[in-house]
Amino acid sequence: TMKFLLVFDFDYTVIDENSDTWIVKCAPEEKLPNKLRNSYQKGHWTEYMSRVFRYLGDSGVKEDEMKRTMTTIPFTTGMRDLLDFIGKNKDLFDCIIISDSNTVFIDWILKAANFHEVLDEVFTNPATFSGAGYLTVQNFHTHHCAKCPKNLCKRKVLEEFVDKKLHQGVKYTKIVYVGDGGNDLCPVTFLKKDDIAMPRQGYTLQKMISQMSEDLDPVQSSVLVWSSGIEILSHLKLLMKE
């Protein structure tokens, strides 16, 4: 059977914000102390977020308040329509999220909008609330990719997922990868010529893909730039007709 795999990043793709910075709205005066804000080291986002969650916990921010705040995040234009459409055509589309956010945030947001059913799997940093009510987050996995942040190589996740499905007898006709950020480039380089990379207009991923073409080292897949979920939706309709 013909089946397409849709892969979505989450922050600035499905939602029009960064969930990890949005949570700061819960902090006293909606800001973090400078010392904490400046403690981020490149490639070590999860450790940084652990400190942020500890600060929120120390400031008395409770789970229900965090949840209320997170479920007010706006979806990117047209994304709700796109997810609705995918949900109605699950016979054709498998759909996964690979994100550097965390399981708690993504669950809250998808469930509140009633989209958790649309997704076959969500790959992101595992998070839980401790007995004391503090949100704790772990690295998703370990990997050996020099290009990616230490907690998550999206290419490795995508490779392993496609491989697992192959063992279950599912071979995808096409993979469509929708993302925006620098950490989406690595999985895009995994795509083959029949696949489609969909970088968001004006964001880092699009700039990096353009740069590669200029350096005469273009990605193998076709590239379609998007700025709303509606454009992605019309493209999926075209794929269904092929």
Q: pLDDT tens for residues 71-119? A: 999 999 999 999 999 999 999 999 999 999 999 999 999 999 999 999 9
Give the per-residue pLDDT at 42. Answer: 86
Tokens 């970088």 belong to 199
CB 45 within 8 A of CB 200: no
Binding-site members are: 9, 11, 20, 100, 180
Which structure tokens are listed for 45? 């986002």
**Helix (H/G/I), strand (E/B), else coil: 189:** coil
- Is residue 224's pLDDT more than 80? yes
* Band of residue 215 on the pLDDT scale cut at 50, 70, 90: confident
Whole-number Å distance between alpha carbons of 205 and 219: 12
Per annotation, catalytic residue among 9, 94, 184, 195: 9
Q: Is residue 11 flagged as an active site residue? A: yes
Give the per-residue pLDDT at 242. Answer: 80
* HSE, side-chain direction, 13 A CA sphere, residue 14: 28
Give the per-residue pLDDT at 1. Answer: 65
Binding-site members for Mg(2+) are: 9, 11, 180
CB 4 within 8 A of CB 93: yes
Q: Is residue 120 flagged as an active site residue? A: no
Torsion over CA: 222, 228, 232, 238 (sign) = negative
- Domain range 3-15+75-124+142-240, CATH architecture: 3-Layer(aba) Sandwich (3.40)
Per annotation, catalytic residue among 11, 94, 184, 195: 11
pLDDT, tens only, 147-194: 998 899 999 999 999 999 999 999 999 999 999 999 999 999 999 999
Binding-site members for substrate are: 20, 100
Q: In a 10 Å sphere around its CB, with 0-12 CB exposed, 13-18 middle and 19+ buried, how is residue 38 labelled?
A: exposed
